[in-house]
């Protein structure tokens, strides 16, 4: 990593969480500028389906800490 890139990363990491998330989203979008409309439509439908499930209480959210712990345990068990 160049000095400028390192300094830029250091400055970015000092941003508030929301700003870092927005920056990361913008950077990821810049890697693939073409939008697949079929994929976009499918994602919107999936998001709507999941939101309806949450609203109707058909599913319950799992806290990120618990999901992460499960994933880490699963990875340890695979080794």
Is residue 69 predicted with pLDDT exceeding 80?
yes
Report the pLDDT averaged over residues 55-77.
95
63 — pLDDT class (breaks 50, 70, 90): very high
28 & 46 share domain: no
Q: Which domain holds residue 76?
A: 35-79
79 & 48 share domain: yes
Q: Which residues contact 13 (CB under 8 A, 6 or more apart)?
A: 20
Question: What tens digit of pLDDT does each residue of 9-44 get?
Answer: 999 999 999 999 999 999 998 998 787 889 989 999
46 & 78 share domain: yes
Q: Could you give the CA distance from residue 39 to residue 32 in angstroms, rounded to a whole number?
A: 13
pLDDT of residue 50: 96
Structural domains counted in the chain: 2
């Amino acid at each position: 990593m160049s000095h400028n890139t390192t300094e830029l990363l250091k400055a970015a990491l000092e941003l508030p969480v929301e700003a870092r998330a927005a920056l990361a989203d913008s950077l990821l979008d810049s890697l693939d500028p073409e939008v697949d409309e079929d994929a976009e439509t499918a994602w919107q439908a999936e998001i709507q389906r999941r939101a309806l499930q949450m609203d109707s209480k058909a599913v319950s959210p799992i806290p990120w800490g618990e999901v992460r712990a499960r994933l880490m345990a699963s990875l340890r068990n695979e080794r």
